[in-house]
Structure 1
Amino acid sequence: MKKLLQIIIGLGFILTPFYTNAHVKWFTEVAPKKESIENILSPLFMGLALLAAVVLASLTIIIPKMAQMPLIKKWDDYLSGFRKYSRYLLKYGTAVALIIQVTNGTLFAPEFQLDSTLLTVLAWVTIGLLLVPHHIATKLGASILLILFIMVTVKHGIFYMLDYGFYVAIIGVLLVGSTKLENVGFPFLYLGTGLSLCWVAVEKWVYPTMSLDIVANHQVPTFGFEPAAFIVMAAFVEFVVGYLLVVGILNRVLGFVVTTIFILTTMLFGFTEIIGHFMIHIVLIIFIIEGVSFYNPPIKMHKTRVDQFIFIFLNFIFVLSTFVLIYYRFA
């Protein structure tokens, strides 16, 4: 109980309104205007892509050495003690996120209004089931949540809902709890959240006018960079975080740094961000608690550091190119 109380107190502190690499569509009325592919693939973009690939590949050498440091080992051992609470944190965190959304007349994100009695009733039934401390109720709640996600997807389209694909991963974890497939739950959560972050990041490159409007109207600090350049760099940070989750390089230290950065930017946008990203807070905290010990990431296919370096470098370029081309073609 003492450890659970520590988690609750820490969570309450962290989840005060301080977050986001925002979904730009929430904060601007500017009509989306697709940038030309020539302008997207600017010298700055190409240079940052190569730099990110080198830095990510270098982490395959740096992180194993960091893991041997006494302080890091102590930190890992301490956080490992909280793993037994991870599924409870996800279950009840999802319920709280839904309560925040539904009481504000939305579901999943601020732009999805609860415009029917059926959606509202199903949302509250889901919340009630998730609050029941039994795995059968959890599975029923997750099943209804999946139905709600499908209903919203039918209305808004698959590519639009890819921004919120991490909800599918959350539903998957809740459904496989207390089953033979329980061990695949959190790896699926890593994958789903990572891919969602990558997808959202590409929006800032393909539709930069919306982000530029936000920078201007919300006085977003650009740290001396031109707004257009700052947006390109900010999107790379978000994309890199998503990629780290997918390939399994994001250890606890990096996870804590990333979570802190995300949290500290919430003050720019206020309560809308809490509605939209409360669930992401929960997921990131779970990543810090869990680490990657249960996850057999793709990088482990390669045994030597050189092979891992080359794999990450080339794979990042490939994944980045694929996301940009798919988003540009279909979104």
Structure 2
Amino acid sequence: MRADTGLLVRATLGFFFVSLWTMGGIILTPELKTDAAWIPWFQLALATCLIWHRTLPLAGAGIVVLFGYATWCYGAFHLADYPVFLGVAAYLILTGLNRTLYGIRPLDVVRAAAAVTLMWASVEKWAYPEWTAPLLAAKPGMTFGASPELFMKAAGVVEFTLAFALIWTPLVRRTAAIILAAIFVSAVFEFGKVDAIGHSGIIVVLVAIAADDARIAVRRRDVALAPAYYAVALTGFLTLYYVGHAAMYGALFSAPVI
């Protein structure tokens, strides 16, 4: 499994881009719609580039082009939900060139991007819980008997904590990756094939993280300071989200009470 991680990532991304070509009218994720006729064919070309190791940098560069186009269409704040795509692009480019990023492995680059993506998404659950209200109304069993307000606050805390764990020690991040992958896979059974396509990229990244057997020395001081690091990360993402939102769209009505 560990030896075949690269092949698994390429195969899953190939499925992802072929699916987007089949569906049409989508930039990288089903949420980002487009009328541009060249986008589906460009994404099919990226799937083709994933077949050969030498063309992986082209696939990575193509993802950057699509991300840039989506940013131009939807704005930087909207695309802040999806930095994992830039991580995947970096992974493909570095893997294809057999390089590291100043000593950082390609898998570690995409792991950091996945962590940032999920931490940002968790803050969004606190900032805009009403976006999920129709879903919770249609599927009330998801809340396990809790009120929608409490469920969204708790879901954000759980997601942020697991995302933060992705940048922690090997055992912690592998455990977090397994839990997060299980959550995403279970959602596929609930929401269907579009969800499977949209989340296939991050699921395969989480599987790759879970399979990674790299070892690093962990100092006791770092373990003791984990709560402080967590508090800094939480404060930083809350500040970035709310200050960034205020700068681009105006202040939100209230800060989150977690």
TM range (shorter): 0.7 to 0.9
Does residue 231 of structure 1 match 2:152? yes
- In 2, the alpha carbon distance for the partners of 1:254 and 1:149 equals 27
**CA 1:311–1:151: 2 relative to 1, 3 Å:** same
- Please tell me whether the aligned partners of residues 208 and 231 of structure 1 are also in contact (alpha carbons under 8 angstroms): yes
Whether the aligned pair in 1 keeps the contact of 2:87 and 2:110 (CA below 8 Å) is yes
Counterpart among 80, 88, 98 of residue 179 in structure 1: 98
Superposed counterparts of 1:100-119, under 5 Å: 100-105=19-24, 106-119=26-39
1:162 correspondence with 2:162: no
Q: 1:283-328: CA deviations, max 9, x gaps?
A: 11111211443xx59xx4xx22xx2343210111111111112112
Q: Distance in 2 between matches of 1:180 and 1:139?
A: 11
Tell me the residue number matched to 2:2: 83
**Partner residue, 1:124:** 44
TM-score after normalising by structure 2: 0.85
Alignment partners' CA distance in 2, 1:97 and 1:271? 11
CA contact (8 A) 2:10 2:50 kept: yes
Q: Confirm whether residue 92 of structure 1 aligns to residue 14 of structure 2.
A: no
1:195 corresponds in structure 2 to 116
Contact 2:187 2:195 in 1 (8 A): no
CA RMSD between the two structures? 2.0
Map 1:23-42 onto structure 2 (within 5 A).
Answer: none
SS of residue matched to 2:14: helix
State the aligned residue count: 240
Partner of 1:47: none
Larger mean Cα displacement after TM superposition, 231-240 or 137-146 = 137-146
Between the aligned residues of both structures, percent identity stands at 22
SS at match of 1:246: coil
One-letter amino acid of the structure 1 residue matched with residue 89 of structure 2: I
One-letter amino acid of the structure 1 residue matched with residue 87 of structure 2: A
Q: Does 1:273 align with 2:192?
A: no
Secondary structure, counterpart of 2:32 in structure 1: strand
Long gaps (5+) in structure 2: 246-258
Equivalent position of 1:17 in the other structure:
none
Q: Indicate the SS of the match to 2:31.
A: strand
| Pair 1:213-2:127 in alignment | no
CA contact (8 A) 1:212 1:228 kept: no
Residue 312 of structure 1 aligns with which residue?
A: 226
- TM-score where L is the length of structure 1: 0.67
- Which of 155, 160, 181 aligns to 1:259? It is 181
Q: Residue 257 and residue 118 in structure 1: after superposition, are their counterparts in 2 closer, same or farther (change >3 A)?
A: closer
Structure 2 distance, partners of 1:171, 1:223, is 38
1:180 Cα offset (Å): 3.3
| Residues 107, 292 of structure 1: alpha-carbon distance in 2 compared, 3 angstrom cutoff | farther
CA pair 248-286 structure 1, distance change in 2 beyond 3 A:
same
C-alpha distance in structure 2 between counterparts of 1:282 and 1:199, whole Å: 19
Q: 1:220 Cα deviation (Å)?
A: 4.1
Q: Distance in 1 between matches of 2:31 and 2:145?
A: 32
Q: How big is the shift at 1:228?
A: 0.6
CA distance in 1, matches of 2:141, 2:120: 22
Q: Which structure carries more relative contact order (alpha carbon 8 Å, separation 6+)? A: 1
1:142 counterpart = 2:56: no
Gaps of 5+ in 1: 1-81
Give the partner amino acid of 1:121: W
Structure 1 position 114, deviation (Å): 3.9
Query: How many Å separate the matches in 2 of 1:309 and 1:212?
Result: 38
Which AA in structure 1 matches 2:110? L
Alignment deviations for residues 223-271 of structure 1 (CA, whole Å, 9 cap, x no partner): 2222110110011111111101123353434432332233223333222
Cα distance in 1 for partners of 2:10, 2:142 equals 36
SS at match of 2:35: coil
Displacement after TM superposition at 1:125 (Å): 1.4
Q: Which amino acid aligns with 2:240?
A: I
Task: Mark the CA change 1:214 to 1:127 in structure 2 (over 3 Å): closer, same or farther.
Answer: same
Q: Could you give the per-residue CA deviations for residues 150-192 of structure 1, whole angstroms, max 9, x where no partner exists?
A: 1111111122112111010111011011423275211101100
Q: Do the aligned residues in 1 keep the contact of 2:163 with 2:176 (CA within 8 Å)?
A: no
Aligned to 1:49: none
What secondary structure sits across from 1:83 in the alignment? coil
User: What CA deviation, in whole Å up to 9, does each residue of 1:174-225 have, x standing for no partner?
Assistant: 1011423275211101100000000011111001111233211233421222
Whole-angstrom distance in 2 between the partners of 1:330 and 1:127: 34
